[in-house]
Amino acid sequence: MSELPRVIIVGGGFGGLWAAKALSGKPVEVILIDRKNHHVFQPLLYQVATAVLSPGEIAYPIRRILHNAENIEVILGEVTGFDREAKTVTLDDGTQVSYDYLIVAAGARHAYFGNDAWETFAPGLKTVEDAVEIRRRIFLAFEIAERKAALAGTQEPLNFVVVGGGPTGVELAGAIADIARQALKKDFKAIDTTKARVMLFEGSDRVLGTFARELSESAKRQLEELGVEVHLNSFVTNIEPGRVQVGNQWIDCEVVLWATGVAASPLGKALVAETDKAGRVFVEADLSVPGSPEVFVIGDMASLKQENGDPVPGVSPAAMQMGTHSANNILADIKGNARENFRYVDKGTMATIGRRKAISDVFGIKTTGLVAWLFWLFLHVMFLIGFRNRFAVMFNWFWAYLTRERSARLITGDADELRDALIFMEGEPAAKEVFEFRRVKKAGTKTP
């Protein structure tokens, strides 16, 4: 039985993991609790959704990452509540675990602006499961179009809609355009995949709105070069099976992906702390919750203003810095030193758009296109956790670059799901007649 102060970390994302690393080998007993057994390298999740990488290449077992840290225990479990007075954390099965210090780093999900029913029609991208589901929808849409074309002899429109022009929306839209125009074009014989349309709807007047305006404009041009139709000042006001409403106009589409809105983990409210509209907990300058100096909230769950008045952005470097900082403040307490206030160090930002297309603003230097893309590539490979993953990712990228192939094009799920999808996309089962299969010659399918 340990006499050391116990720190419970909730969440094994960038924030929780960096906190754990900072506490490794220190005079504390650490318990890290996550409902997944793996840490996900979120910045590359869209590459799983678009079949360049496999889930195993961007996710790594949390206990493997921390296996050398003798004072850290990793527990698979879902935290369902807290008792700040009794200083306990409640797990899914009702078990309560006591703490001396608590770091809550459970992240955020996408929000549907109060229309949670849309999630069924328009999945977002936060977990490995989300990525596999999005991959399934993208490639299933092509399969269903091929099947219909082979049976009926005509190609119906194939539309992809991405809602939101932030980094994830831009990455997804660019990648789907590449899939339709390059990766699949030789594999489908009844349909011409290059005719698929990719539409990106962004409510504000520019994509990647956190970047300088000139970079946003470049990003829009680069997206358009890839074949994405970028619609600015366009709010999606409703989503139904097979169509989205933008303003007053309904647009038919086979796949809708959701890449906007942020809702912090409901664990912020479970703390009974004051939160902003997105559910983020207002934290003190030392990252602790007002009234509970032993409780820290970090990463996408925390709401904190920088000295210049801007909020600390919900990006992975901020989560990592907060993780390290909260851990250091705990260690300061233990040593009897004063805590320090958190100060976000912005090392620059970049966003990738597609093959040889990106924007970057690092150390005050703005670049676009190939240079920004190479920079993005280099940084992300260097950052990937675990040598083995880094190597496999590099190999897959190199291969995808050379061949323009997307190898991880698995549609998983059972036959029922396929039938559901067919009915979902076709409206109702086809009439029971004997079809004469007709091969659609690509030259013959040109539409004016």
Q: Would you please indicate which residues are annotated as catalytic (active-site) residues? A: 171
- Find residue 366's DSSP bridge partners: 361
Kindly tell me which of 69 and 223 has the beta carbon lying closer to a second copy: 69
From candidates 413, 424, 442, 445, binder to a second copy by CB under 8 A: 413
389-404 core/surface letters (b: 16 or more CB in 10 A; e: else): bbebbeebbeebeeeb
State in angstroms the smallest separation of the CB of 439 from a second copy.
Answer: 6
Segment interacting with a second copy, rule: CB under 8 A, options 154-162, 239-247, 341-349, 382-390: 382-390
From candidates 213, 305, 343, 438, binder to a second copy by CB under 8 A: 438
From candidates 117, 213, 423, 444, binder to a second copy by CB under 8 A: 423
Segment interacting with a second copy, rule: CB under 8 A, options 186-194, 257-265, 347-355, 359-367: 186-194
Kindly tell me which of 109 and 220 has the beta carbon lying closer to a second copy: 109
By CB under 8 A, the residues from 46 to 75 that bind a second copy are: 51, 54-57, 59-61, 63-64, 67, 70, 73-75
Strands across the sheet with 72-76, in order? Answer: 72-76, 29-34, 6-10, 101-104, 292-297, 288-289
State in angstroms the smallest separation of the CB of 241 from a second copy.
Answer: 17
From candidates 190, 207, 273, 312, binder to a second copy by CB under 8 A: 190
From candidates 84, 126, 150, 294, binder to a second copy by CB under 8 A: 150
From candidates 377, 379, 381, 418, binder to a second copy by CB under 8 A: 418
Assigned token pair, 330 = 């705990």
Kindly tell me which of 382 and 415 has the beta carbon lying closer to a second copy: 415
In angstroms, what is the C-alpha Rg of the chain? 24
Assigned token pair, 419 = 């039938």
263 is an interface residue for a second copy by CB under 8 A? no
By CB under 8 A, the residues from 83 to 112 that bind a second copy are: 86, 88, 92-98
Q: Are 33 and 55 in contact (CB under 8 A)?
A: no
Give the separation between CA 46 and CA 265, rounded to whole angstroms: 21
242 is an interface residue for a second copy by CB under 8 A? no
Distances in Å between the alpha carbon of 364 and those of 4, 100, 212, 348, 361? 45, 42, 11, 8, 6
Assigned token pair, 247 = 């303003």
Q: Which residue type does 283 have? A: V
426 is an interface residue for a second copy by CB under 8 A? yes
From candidates 266, 366, 411, 442, binder to a second copy by CB under 8 A: 411
Alpha carbon distance, N-terminus to C-terminus of the chain: 77
Within a 10 A sphere around the Cβ of 364, how many other Cβ atoms? 6
- Find residue 311's DSSP bridge partners: 305
State in angstroms the smallest separation of the CB of 63 from a second copy.
Answer: 5
405 is an interface residue for a second copy by CB under 8 A? yes
Q: How many residues lie near a second copy (CB under 8 A)?
A: 87
Phi, psi of 13 (to 5 degrees): -80, -160
